[in-house]
Structures are given as C-alpha cells and as structure tokens.
C-alpha cells in the first residue's frame, strides 16, 4: 500500500519570506500523481498544485512551486513571498492510476507578521 509521510507537524515563516514543506511517499508504481492541498481555518480543502510523475519539470503556480525528486520519492512544496493568508494546514497527497487519494498527516503552517 502507498504511504505518504509529512515529517513536519508544524512550521512557521515570517511574512514575505520563503518556506519549504516536506513530503515523502512510498510506492512501487512508476505512473502516479502528487498533490498539495491547503486547508485554512475555514476547513475548506483547496487544491494548490499538482505534479505528474512522468514530467521532469517541477510544477509551479504563482508563488507555489514543488521540488519533485522521483528517485528519492520526495515532493516538497515551496511557498515564496509568504503572506498571512498562506497560514493553513497543508496536506500532501498521492494518487496512482486509480482514482483514490492517499494523504499525509499534514503540516500546520504559521505565518508571522
């Protein structure tokens, strides 16, 4: 079974600085997808960014980018120019060729003014 591990239960960053959230996963498959979701205090789950395993280029979405290391099974999220609105719980998720997602335990990000 696939597992997703987020080893940082909590992280903090100063406003306008950069922070990186870590995620590792375990799989024997070669074709899969990885995601980062954001959950603010409103509890809504918001898709932040997606990475296809077959793509070598790291995905970017505005201030959010990933560092995808397929051989190391690592998928970190970098948030640049952090804003107060980035404060949230962040979840890493994995999906293989089926439709089911496996989530990590989450990292609580605090942004300090």
Partner 1 sequence: DAGITQSPRHKVTETGTPVTLRCHQTENHRYMYWYRQDPGHGLRLIHYSYGVKDTDKGEVSDGYSVSRSKTEDFLLTLESATSSQTSVYFCAISVHRTGSSYEQYFGPGTRLTVT
Among 64, 70, 95, 96, binds partner 1 (CB under 8 A): 95
Contacts of 4 (CB under 8 A, 6+ apart): 23, 24, 25, 26, 92, 93, 94, 102, 103, 104
Among 25, 35, 68, 94, binds partner 1 (CB under 8 A): 35
Name the segment binding partner 1 (CB under 8 A); options: 16-24, 44-52, 58-66, 75-83: 44-52
Q: Is 100 in the site for partner 1 (CB under 8 A)?
A: yes
Per-residue interface string for the shown chain with partner 1, residues 56-85, x marking contact by CB under 8 A: ------------------------------
Count of residues that bind partner 1 according to CB under 8 A: 18
Q: Is 45 in the site for partner 1 (CB under 8 A)?
A: yes
Neighbours of 112 (CB within 10 A): 11
Say if CB 72 and CB 7 are below 8 A apart.
no
Chain-centre distance for alpha carbon 60? 12
Binding site for partner 1 (CB under 8 A): 4, 33, 35, 43-45, 47, 50, 52, 91, 95, 99-101, 103-106
């Amino acid at each position: 079974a696939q597992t997703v591990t987020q080893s940082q239960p909590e992280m903090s960053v100063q406003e306008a600085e950069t922070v990186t959230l870590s995620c590792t996963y375990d799989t024997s498959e070669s074709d899969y997808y990885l995601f980062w979701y954001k959950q603010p205090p409103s509890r809504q789950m918001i898709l932040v960014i997606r990475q296809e395993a077959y793509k070598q280029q790291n995905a970017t979405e505005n201030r959010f980018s990933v560092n995808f290391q397929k051989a190391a099974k690592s998928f970190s999220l970098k948030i640049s120019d952090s804003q107060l609105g980035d404060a949230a719980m962040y979840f890493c998720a994995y999906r293989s060729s089926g439709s089911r997602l496996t989530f990590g335990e989450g990292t609580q990000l605090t942004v300090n003014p």
